[in-house]
Amino acid sequence: MAGSGAALPAHRATLKDVARAAGVSQSTTSRAMSGEGYVAEAVRVRVLAAADDLGYVPHAMARNLRKQVNRSIGVLVSNLRNTFYADLAAGIAGRARSQGYTMMLVDDEGLTDVELGAAEAFVATRAAGVIVTPLSAVVSAYLLKQNIPVVEVDRQFSADRCDGVIIDNADIAKRVTDHLLDLGHTRIALLIDETNRTTGAERFAGYRRSLEESGIPADPALIVSAGWGVDDARRASVNMLARRDHPTAVFAANNVLAEGVWRAAADLGLRIPEDLSLVSFDDAQWMSMVTPGITAVAQDAVALGSTAMDRLLERIEHPNADPVTVVLGSQIRPRGSTAGPRQL
């Protein structure tokens, strides 16, 4: 079929192909495509038309390396199956896109070796910066040693070395436990994924402080580690709730764990809230769709992500400024899953 455009090359079009089609040198083609340097307007129009005909896409990484800049950022999160981390990544992506950056996203699945491998890949691709939900201080230390700007989000291990965006986990966890105590519960279980990282440790600290201030000693049997997934949380919850001295209320330290408790209660025929009160840290869509709805701590994960991207942009612009930690607010959304303990 005859056409007015340039013949399409058998391979992906290169700058050399565009230059040949436009009848000019590669240096002139490069200036015309980038808008940097003088090119006669008629020549610029001819070059752009040839590029369009050939379907030429500029090699962004090569262009950035020539300019000694990179418009991509690395993002490391712990579990994209958890809607909190998916929303967090969405917040980062939206703000990055609006500022002309692209995002390289990695789910480390809570594994430190995967986390460090991703960090090494970000260094190799010369990422402009990295936003991470860190598993320890190791990943931030490594990136900083490579002169890569870092923002820790959700969890913070390196407040003295890099920026962070977090919420006050200990305070909101205390308020949740206070709520259950005010309803008359004294056997309140904490179902948690971990207590040695910042979010888990802080939520545990808030829970324990609430009990201590009420004169109730924390019972180690009511502090249950349940792993990262719904199935693990469900099994741990069944074991906990099937005991003769089972708790009358459960504070689930994230939305995945809360789902495990909710399913375990159904497995055992326990009614919420008549037989068991339930509160979740992290809201999720399903919690407002079930009956009764699940009382939950709502933190704006999208806002955490966009704020983290703002901090990263500030850090890129001002690399020698003192580290900044931004603390965002959260709220308890009361629904129908809490009530006073059943009188026996």
List pLDDT tens digits, range 12-70: 778 889 899 999 998 898 888 877 778 888 999 999 999 888 878 765 555 554 544 57
Q: Give the H/E segment covering residue 162.
A: none
Confidence at residue 196, expressed as pLDDT on a 0 to 100 scale: 72
| CA proximity to 260, closest of 284, 288, 231, 291 | 231
The tens digit of pLDDT for each residue in 286-303 reads: 999 999 999 999 999 999
Contact 153, 304 (CB under 8 A): yes
User: What's this model's pTM, rounded to 2 decimal places?
Assistant: 0.72
Helices (H), 23-137: 26-34, 41-54, 60-67, 83-98, 112-124
Q: If you count DSSP H runs as helices and E runs as strands, how many of each does the chain have, helices first? A: 12, 12
Burial class (CB in 10 A: 0-12, 13-18, 19+), 303: middle
pLDDT tens for the 344 residues of the chain, in order: 334 444 544 567 788 898 999 999 988 988 888 777 788 889 999 999 998 888 787 655 555 545 445 789 999 998 898 888 999 999 999 999 999 999 999 999 889 999 999 999 999 888 999 999 999 999 999 999 999 999 999 999 999 999 999 999 999 999 999 999 999 999 999 999 877 778 889 999 999 999 999 999 989 999 998 877 899 999 999 999 999 999 999 999 999 999 999 999 999 999 999 999 999 998 989 999 999 999 999 999 999 999 999 999 999 999 999 999 999 989 999 999 999 998 75
Residues 221, 196: Cα–Cα separation, whole Å: 18
